[in-house]
Amino acid sequence: MPSKLFQKTKKVAPYSKLAFIYDFLMRYVDYDNWASHLVRLFNKADLDVTSVLDISAGTGSLILQLAELGYEVSGQDYSYDMVRIAKKKFISREIPAILWAGSMTEQTSKLKYDAVISTYDSINYCHPIAKCEKVFEHVANIVKPGGVFIFDISTVRNSKKYFRRYFDQDGTNKFDYIRQSYYLSDTRKQINEFYITWKSRKNVCYKEYHEQQIYQLAEMKEIVPQQFFEIVGVYDGFSLRPGTEKSDRVHFLLKKKAND
């Protein structure tokens, strides 16, 4: 959606340009509270956690909070540009962390972790559902026996309530962006389109097209590999109440079974 006639629209990969404005868009997200909720879930699983890997770490805001709570954190993300921003944040705060680019559907680390996390409906980017099965296989290989995998999904209700037709426009002295979202009920796809323009380069408008599959809780539960994981709980939002299709977001808490 170029706003000016002289502007050319350039399609780019998800999170390649958004990476640079992501933290501005997420400035109201309470990552501190999110980290506290994860700690509550570690406790719910009766787990003493030292090491945490975030397999869709984005710009690292959540693991930064976990690091400040004393956890040894690592992070990966599919987007190289998001990882670059995350690295800068850790370096500037002199907090040690291993960060790399890679897909959560594939194993890219030989290390094992007490807890593996994937938050803010990142797993909704994995579709068709066979890709989520790959995520479970991958995580089963890198989480220690007795360790946990915590992820969240956003629900159909969330898409219908907030993002059936959504428009947002904002910016700073460096950039402007437009976000346009819509929900496709028949395929349960949440589409988010971003149009980003840098004030220093007004003749180009970068367009990112994001497609997320909105899964039902039952279909997600059904593909959890029972030979590897026990489902400790599925929780509503940031509470310990049971999550349902009436929730906007649900957190899944899976515990890796001990090796026989």
- Hey, is 106 helix, strand or coil? coil
The contact mask relative to ligand SAM for 12-51 (x = CB under 6 A, - = no) is ---x----------x-------------------------
Stretch that binds ligand SAM, among 117-125, 151-159, 176-184, 216-224 (CB under 6 A): 117-125
Of the two residues 72 and 211, which places its CB atom closer to ligand SAM in the complex?
211
The reply to whether 148 sits near ligand SAM by the rule CB under 6 A is: no
Cβ atoms of 104 and 138 closer than 8 Å: yes
In the bound complex, which residue of the shown chain has the CB atom lying closest to ligand SAM?
Answer: 58
Q: Are 52 and 149 in contact (CB under 8 A)?
A: no
**Cα–Cα distance, 239 to 241 (Å, whole number):** 5
Q: Applying CB under 6 A, what is the total number of residues that bind ligand SAM? A: 20
Q: Which is nearer to ligand SAM, 44 or 134 (CB)?
A: 134
Q: What is the rounded distance in angstroms from the CA atom of residue 124 to the CA atom of residue 181?
A: 15
Tell the smallest beta-carbon distance from residue 182 to ligand SAM (Å): 17
Show contacts with ligand SAM in window 55-84 (CB under 6 A). 55-58, 61-62, 77-79, 82
Beta carbon of residue 109, minimum distance to ligand SAM (angstroms, whole number): 13
User: How many residues are recorded in the chain?
Assistant: 260
Min CB(132)–ligand SAM separation in Å: 10
Report the alpha-carbon distance of residue 28 to residue 23 in Å, rounded: 9
Distance from C-alpha of 41 to C-alpha of 45, rounded to nearest angstrom:
6
Among 65, 103, 158, 197, binds ligand SAM (CB under 6 A): 103
Among 122, 155, 197, 247, binds ligand SAM (CB under 6 A): 122
Residues 191-250 that bind ligand SAM (CB under 6 A): none
- Interface residue list for ligand SAM (CB under 6 A): 15, 26, 55-58, 61-62, 77-79, 82, 103-105, 119-120, 122, 125-126
